[in-house]
Structure 1
Amino acid sequence: MFEEISRVADHDESQRRSFLRKVGFVAVNLGAIAVASPARAAKQANGDVDPDVNIMQGALAIEHEGIAAYRLAGASGLLTPGTLKVATIFMGHHQQHRDSLEALIAKAGGSPVKPKSDAQYTQELNLGSLKSEGDVVALAAKLEQGATNAYAGQVAALRNRQLTHLFTQLCADESVHWTTLNNAMAVPIPMKAYLFG
């Protein structure tokens, strides 16, 4: 009896693996198409830059700000090693977002917006007022919430539906950052739904 069950299980496992291999192959190919499509889609047939490029430029500016905030706050000496590690991970996410947006903007014929100077970010974000790790985490949570709201709104504004996948990924990453930071500050989970947008 156990041999029969084992033989059936092995057969089912073999079929499952074959199915998963096929699904994986299709997913890889669809992924390759999805990565290539947004850049092509951001250009109109007549060669003009699509208005979606302006939306990507706004997103790129948000990413530049996030990178600067984490870099400058991380260098402030206010963060404990554990918090600095998380801040460095989040900064890495923002750098990856930046790289994706810059590449798409350039492929669409645009010139990616450049980051502001450290002095400008320090003034605009009022970084001089940060006196504790709690201040830094609160500022980071505020910026991540703003980024999440921006991306949620920008998804609806995009004309090209192929770009919405990237923007939903950006929005999801920012919401994970916001949630992690709020958890670190022991901020209660909001009772109402529809937290962003």
Structure 2
Amino acid sequence: MLIKTTPAQYSARRNFLGRSTSIALSGAAVALLAGNSRLAVAATGNPSGDVNILNVALGLEHEAIAAYQVGAESGLLQKPVLDTAVLFQSHHKQHRDALVATIEKLGGKPVMAKSNSDYAASLGAGGLKSQTDILNLAARLELGAANAYIGVIPAFSEKDLAKVAARLAADETMHWSLLANALGKPVPMAALSFGA
């Protein structure tokens, strides 16, 4: 039995940074996220709005970390797949840490992670019966994240800021690609498969 991501979960993951530039991160927030304090000082923006958006992104990174934890603890993943899941989880932890640092630098309070059991329930982990189920769930979450990060790139006038979003999207796309390969899914036949 495959676990389906609800339309609300997929939509939240794909669109967490918004559909228009009116709710995109300010240059300062993305510069801080990239670790470039000098660029952040030169940028202007709405720190309160940025903190809200970054906290949504942080909440989704918490969810990804928990999803990989649930998969790792399930006993359903074979050794090479388990190792890859742990690696991907470490990438999401790095994303989380960067988001937390940025939120704190902007004077905000980072959203706390829920318990793993709360995430497991919201992800339908009780229905995970095989390695394939776990990989399908992870692939759907990673695809949603890749599309979300790609969706925000056009909102930036600064090349450095767009680069940060592109780097995050690249991580998520790499995760999706490897998961899809492990599932035996074919390489997408059409160009421009992501971000649409």
Instruction: Give the TM-score normalised by the residue count of structure 1.
Output: 0.74
1:129 and 2:91 are equivalent in the alignment: no
- The aligned residue for residue 176 of structure 1 is 174
| Structure 1 residue 64 displacement after superposition | 0.7
CA distance in 1 between partners of 2:173 and 2:150 (Å): 10
1:87-106 aligned at under 5 Å gives the runs 87-106=85-104
Equivalences for 1:109-128 in 2 at 5 Å? 109-128=107-126
CA 1:126–1:38 in 2, change beyond 3 Å: closer, same or farther?
farther
Contact 1:41–1:162 (CA under 8 A) maintained in structure 2: no
Task: Supply the distance in 2 between the matched residues of 1:77 and 1:159 (Cα, whole angstroms).
Answer: 46
Identity %: 46
Deviation at 1:41, TM superposition (A): 5.0
Task: Name the counterpart of 1:19.
Answer: none
- Name the CA shift for 1:77/1:187 in 2 (closer, same or farther; >3 Å): same
User: Which residue of 61, 65, 68 maps to 2:66?
Assistant: 68
What per-residue deviation string (whole Å, max 9, x for no partner) do you get for residues 46-89 of structure 1? Answer: xx615333332222112111100001110010011111000000
Which AA in structure 1 matches 2:125? L
- Aligned ranges for residues 33-52 of structure 1 at < 5 Å? 35-37=35-37, 40-41=40-41, 44=44, 49=47, 51-52=49-50
2:147 corresponds to which of 135, 146, 149: 149
> Structure 1 171/41 Cα, relative in aligned 2: closer, same or farther at 3 Å?
farther
CA distance in 1: counterparts of 2:174 and 2:41, whole angstroms: 28
Cα distance change, pair 42–50 in 1 and its aligned pair in 2 (3 A): farther
**Paired residue for 1:57?**
55
TM-score normalized with structure 2 length? 0.74
Residue 144 of structure 1: CA displacement?
0.4
Q: Distance in 2 between matches of 1:98 and 1:165?
A: 18
Query: Helix, strand or coil for the counterpart of 1:193?
Result: coil
Q: Is the 8 A contact 2:48 2:108 kept in 1?
A: no
Are residue 84 (structure 1) and residue 82 (structure 2) matched? yes
Q: Which moved more, 1:62-71 or 1:160-169?
A: 160-169
2:183 partner amino acid: M
Q: How many residues align?
A: 162
The CA distance in 2 between the partners of 1:116 and 1:42, in whole Å, is 35
Matches of 2:42 and 2:64, distance apart in 1: 24
Please state how far the C-alpha of 1:101 moved relative to its aligned partner: 1.0
1:88 & 1:152 partners in 2: Cα distance? 24
Deviation per residue, 1:123-180 (Å, 9 max, x gap): 1110110000011111111110011111111333457764333221111000000000
In our comparison, the structure showing a higher alpha carbon Rg is 1
Q: What RMSD in Å do the two structures reach over aligned CA positions?
A: 2.3
